[in-house]
Amino acid sequence: MAKLVYDDSGRLLFTEEMRKEYTILFPQMLPTHFKMLEKIFRMHGYNAVMLTTTHSGIAQEGLKYVHNDTCYPALLVIGQMMDAIKNGGYDPHKVALMITQTGGGCRASNYIHLLRKALKRAGFDYIPVISLNLSGMEKNPGFKLDLSFLLQAVHALIYGDLIMNLANQCRPYELEKGATDRLVEDWTEKLVKDFERGIAAFRHKHAKETMKAICEDFAALPADRSHPRVRVGVVGEIYVKYSPLGNNSLEAFLQSEDCEVVVPGVIDFAIFKCDNRSEDHLLYGGKLGSYILSNTLKKLCRLYQNDMIEVMGHFPVFRVPCTFEHLKSLVKGYLGYGNKMGEGWLLTGEMLELVDSGTCNIVCTQPFGCLPNHVAGKGMVRRIKQRMPQANIVCIDYDPGATRINQENRIKLMLANARLQQQRETAKTDTDTTVAVV
């Protein structure tokens, strides 16, 4: 068993010896993106395992260690990890846990401390907890992120966004059930193998060629698009928006209701975080170095996002997402750019962009304990509907006391309105066509 080493503050460190022997467990948020990240961690010598459990006992496990007035995502993430330690078949003495820290004003940066308290209370305080962050917080001798890892991670995010976007546009219309999901799996494996080639895999020209190849494969899937499905956008707090555990498998439910799901990509969130640093500098001043670094990272992410948009534009069968600049411009007159806690103005912007691009039906996922999300999400719905009366938005609360059946019934009411509106538009189109022929 590895020797336990503590720093001067008493924090248990993840050592080089642990890196060789331990399994690192981390929660799932974006299924496709994080599957690639899991494989990237393994390429760098970490025995990382993404937790994919979604059963109802996870919330109950979280309630044992996290107060029920804390953020719902914290309760789920901690509950999922504690459930894995107790029931996942892992040796508790050979396990480490990994969780992200942004270092911002969101309480998510404090999840790591709640997790350590939960481990101590359950008698597992010998299990190290790793902070995954880009702010230099909580360094560990056995866990270091180098430039190649960061390059691979950024590419995993942009490729993950592309695959998620294409798969959501193909899945409702596929002629062979499961063909889209199989293609997602195939490309996930191909991309990780490509990452192993090193710097050659991250050249700009090669990245665009890869995006084109991905689009070609998805465009070639046999599909019948003669009967368009009701399109439903999903927005909200980042974890609950993407995680099947956090939103009770919302995407699967919408697909079972014969809908086409539209989920904004995570690259917008990454650019948003960089943009916040730039806005902070403009509003309040600060270190010039931080301003330059944030702008450099923002430019890199925008470059890849623009490449994705350009490549998708060559395939008329697919709807193309907008640029971050356009998304940001839509928020003017609704919120200031200094509104940046949680998802801040980005959440309002995503709803505006969905309606602006023709996806008027939206589920806004509202986790308990996320005040910024309620302000920029539910708090902006009335304003959006006043200016865009075609918007059909339902805000769904996610917390330990919310029943799944109640959530789904409220979504079904929104879908009933969406289908009625679709029938009216179809009837109007048919009438206009008849008049034109006559």
Domains of the chain: 16-144 (3.40.50), 229-265+335-438 (3.40.50)
Q: Which residues in the chain show pLDDT less than 70? A: 103-108, 135, 429-438
CB 58 within 8 A of CB 80: yes
Chain-centroid distance, C-alpha 176: 27
Asked whether 215 and 312 are in contact (CB, 8 A), the reply is: yes
β-strand partners of 366: 397
pLDDT value of residue 280:
82
| pLDDT at res. 100 | 85
Task: Say what the pLDDT of residue 259 is.
Answer: 97
Is pTM beyond 0.95? Reply is no
pLDDT given for residue 123 in this prediction:
96
Q: Identify the pLDDT of residue 104.
A: 64
